Amino acid sequence: MSSSAYTWIRTRDGSPTLWSNELGESFRSTKGAFTESWVAFVEPVLKAAREGGGAVVGELGLGPGTNWILATLAFRAAGIPLRYAVVERDPGSFRAGLERWREEGPALLAFLASKGLAIEGEAPIRAALAEGTRALAGDPSDAFAIFPDFASAAGTRADFWFHDPFGFEVNPDGYSVQTLREASGLWAPRGRGFSYACNRRFQDALAEAIPGILVRVVATGDAGLKRERMEFEWHR
């Protein structure tokens, strides 16, 4: 698919991602879209959720929904409950993703199988896409613009946070103190956050926005990607 706004490209690990023609940047790493989502976001939360019995995930920067589709399917395969909500200003990119994930069903299943997560048939993919399609009817004025039921559930907050807007250089507002303060209002009293961005300005903004937050840069564990990602923990 190509339009004035987006173009689909194939990344080095064989998985697709959207390219923003306006910003001149891809939504996921050109070195490996599925791989990046897995090592930076889905895998560490899945591991923590196995120990805790479930997860409530919030994400800033849904894009075409790579993190969302992989997490939804991975948790389904592992038999672990997952609730997922997002903040996204441009639902158009997610619409493009829903179309693409229908085509990429075999690739999604093969990738998860390589991680030891077997899914029989494509029924779980169809169910996830139906959920995503329904979510697009949400009110864009909601804090969680695509999955608004999350915000309306009394007392529900994200205990895992995927901070995943476009890169710092093209979208500094996504990493600003103000944005992080607003985002933290959607977090549970304690939890963990993840980002593929790990530059010093982002770390400093986190420290200013959320006093006492613990930030650490960790290895991605994949030689084909950028070597580091970031995790942060809060306790309020």
What contacts 225, CB < 8 A, 6 or more positions away? Answer: 29, 31, 32, 35, 36, 39
Residue 64 near residue 92 (C-beta atoms within 8 A): no
Between 88 and 171, the more confident residue is 171
Q: What is the pLDDT of residue 132?
A: 86
Other C-beta atoms lying within 10 Å of the C-beta of residue 141: 7
On average, the pLDDT of the chain sits at 88
Per-residue pLDDT reduced to its tens digit, 134-145: 777 655 444 444
> How sure is the predictor about 155, in pLDDT bands with cuts at 50, 70 and 90?
low
Choose between 234 and 3: higher pLDDT.
234
pLDDT digits (tens, 9 = 90+) for 108-148: 999 999 999 999 888 999 999 988 887 776 554 444 444 44
- The pTM score is 0.92
pLDDT band with cut points at 50, 70 and 90 for residue 186: confident
Better pLDDT: 141 or 88: 88
Mean pLDDT value of segment 91-116: 93
Q: What is the pLDDT of residue 77?
A: 95
In this predicted structure, the answer to whether residue 169 has a pLDDT above a threshold of 70 is yes
- 148: tokens are 């608004």
Please, which residues have CB within 8 angstroms of residue 100's CB and are 6 or more apart in sequence? Answer: 1, 8, 16, 64
Least trusted range by pLDDT, from 12-21, 126-135, 184-193: 126-135
Q: Report the top-level CATH class of 32-235.
A: alpha beta
